[in-house]
Amino acid sequence: MDRRFVDCHSHVVPSGDDGAATIDDGLDLCRSAAGHGTAILFATPHVWPYFTLSAEREAEIRAAYEQMRLRSELELRLGFELTPTAPLLQEDPNRYVLGGTDCVLMEVPFSGPPDSLFALAEHVDQAGLRPIIAHPERTEAVLADPSVADQLAARGWALQVNATSLLGRHGPEPQELGWSLLERELGKVVASDGHRMTRPAHLDEAYALAEERLGERALKLFDGTALGLARGSV
């Protein structure tokens, strides 16, 4: 299959979170992603308030990543997905960049107000890096008040919509909001947020729908344009 997708959000490297449990599981996810058109896949282990990136955990993640990178059928890169917390505001966000880019992936908290996200995105912005805001369409704050997405986008921060949201796999409200973000050109990236083989890192099905609904501009949502990585077919 023609590989042209750049997927900036997945959990294919084992890290102790809710993604791949083993290196073999992660390699299966990478193999499947490559078979569905992905050329570059970012592994983005969670950095949660209750599961931080200690030096020991980071060393284990990077060791697992190196083993997988050498065996993967696609170009595997490493980054992290940050859940906003106050301690992150005291850290150098360069630690968390998506490899080979100037972008940092962070999620809107699933519940509660988005204030902590705005603070973290501003911190990343001030460091000369670019925030990528993961799956706003799935979160309480944005579903309750979609203008929050407008506020985030107005700051120049790229909104990343999940492919699974567009396919209706998180329910009708996230699906409707996800498509609205793309159609209003607020959403700049579509990524898989793949975790396991029951929730794989696939983009092709969502891309086919986006091409039908959005025409030629659909590809820029899937090919790494927002990350500065657009490369066409590989």
List pLDDT tens digits, range 79-129. 999 999 999 999 999 999 999 999 999 999 988 899 999 999 999 999 999
Q: pTM of whole model > 0.75?
A: yes
128 CB-contact burial (10 Å; exposed 0-12 / middle 13-18 / buried 19+):
exposed
Cα 176 from chain centroid (whole Å): 19
As a whole number of angstroms, the distance between CA 167 and CA 183 comes to 15
Res 234 pLDDT > 90: no
Query: In whole numbers, what is the pLDDT of the chain averaged over residues?
Result: 95
Give the model's confidence band at 231: pLDDT under 50 very low, under 70 low, under 90 confident, else very high.
low
Report CA-CA distances (Å) from 109 to 62, 83, 179, 181.
26, 7, 20, 18
CATH code given to domain 5-227: 3.20.20.140
**Better-predicted residue by pLDDT, 233 or 146:** 146
Average pLDDT over residues 157-183: 98
Q: Which of 9, 7, 91 is nearest to 52 (CA)?
A: 91
| Segment 37-57, tens digit of pLDDT | 999 999 999 999 999 999 999
Q: Per-domain residue ranges for the chain? A: 5-227
Q: Which of 109, 11, 104 is nearest to 61 (CA)?
A: 11
Q: What is the dihedral of CA 202, 100, 217, 4, to 10 degrees?
A: -50
What pLDDT was estimated at residue 130?
Answer: 98
Alpha-carbon torsion (173, 179, 185, 186), positive or negative: positive
